[in-house]
Chain A
Amino acid sequence: MSEAVVSGAPQGMPLPQTDSPSALLLGHADDNLVLAHRLGEWISKAPELELDIALGNIGLDHLGVARALYQHLGRTEGRTEDQYAMGRTDREFRNLLLVEQPNGDFAHTIVRQFFVDCYQLQLWPDLAGSDDDVVAGIAAKALKETDYHYRFSHGWMLRMAGGTDESRERVQIAIDDIWRFTGEIFEGDTSIDRDGWNALVDGMLAETGLTKPEDPYQKTGGRVGYHTEHLGYLLTEMQWMQRTYPGLEW
């Protein structure tokens, strides 16, 4: 893939400190929370009952990882997991733009998941070696789950590419639409194995004959709080209860 990465952050605006370990950890927590919410949006309207359950289950795994990371961060920062999830505005979220992109059709959801799975298959082994035992434990556990998610998303990439003319066309459109959000994965986190990610993605492209876009443009900004407009709508729905009744407990 092209190395040309164009920052999506407006010029001249102060950027929050983002290279500290806890800021990166917050980014990982936010990735998982936002993606969990997106996957949850499929519940009751996936193409088949089995897919409804699958997407819900994958979302639940991501939610569990997000909660564990927020709880861990909260112990040192003196905040609750709800304060992280429900009390921050879009500019305070540090997730990748990739995970906040709308579900689109099933192909878009699967392509987004596939790119995230390929990324987390690199991320978790790295974090599993962390000096922080809690982070290492969360990562080791998440890796087993990501392995299973990857089997699902990769399986559906093959099936859609080899299915009908329409499914193949749709999955190619989804790759073309989402590709510009993948470069950000490697920005600001030098520990991620980019070659490992490339190998999985290129392997899938070789298996299916699908192609990646020629256009080198990459949209970034999520890790420093500059998001696409979609995140605001997502947070509005996700946070409305705590915004309406701050501190509410079940």
Chain B
Amino acid sequence: MVGTLTHARDVVARVVDPEIPVLTIEDLGVLRDVTQDGERVVVTITPTYSGCPAMGQIEDDIRRALSRAGFSDVVINVTYLPAWTTEWMSDEARSKLEHFGIAPPTAPSDVRCPKCRHGESRLIAQFGSTACKALMVCSACGDPFDYFKEH
């Protein structure tokens, strides 16, 4: 039996980012489109950063999730246009990030500590644990935290 497009879409939209597991690829804006051509499911994704090492893992995860749901004929396209931007991230996704301990993308002057919610912090390192994050330290509680860079 061939699954429906809506089903395929739901399955793909639930795939989480391997480096930030509280966000799905839909939350992140990495998932651009899911279409169906006969039995074939065509998924279009876009990388956050050109060299994002999670892309390969995300492709594998999409294939695995679709396969478990009964879709075996899967094509994954990677598109660069339009260029990914953090503006695509929903308010819900931003709030999930903050609860996870990562300051969501915003202008650097508006970053607040995800632990104590204090509004002043300073940059420790422009490049953090993943391509999309920088490392900050809170001026109030003194804790260091990841900041998802506005991009």
Contacts and interface: CB of A to CB of B under 8 A. Distances in A.
Interface residues of B, number: 22
B126 interface: yes
Contacts of A145: 49-50
B127 A57 contact: yes
11 contacts: A53-B125, A57-B131, A61-B49, A62-B51, A64-B49, A134-B80, A137-B79, A138-B50, A140-B81, A141-B83, A145-B50
B80 A141 contact: yes
Interface in A42-72: 50, 53-54, 56-65, 67-68
A64 B79 CA distance: 13
A68 B83 contact: no
Interface in B116-151: 124-129, 131, 135, 149, 151
B50 A64 contact: yes
A93 B44 CA distance: 32
Nearest to A138: B80
A71 to B, nearest CB: 8
Given A54-B127, A138-B80, A155-B126, 11 more contacts: A50-B124, A50-B135, A53-B129, A54-B125, A62-B51, A63-B50, A64-B51, A65-B50, A67-B51, A141-B50, A151-B126
A204 B24 CA distance: 42
Given A68-B50, A134-B80, A138-B50, A60 B131 contact: yes
A175 to B, nearest CB: 22
Interface residues of A, number: 30
Contacts of B101: none
Nearest to A54: B127
A140 B83 contact: yes
A145 B127 CA distance: 12
A61 B50 contact: yes
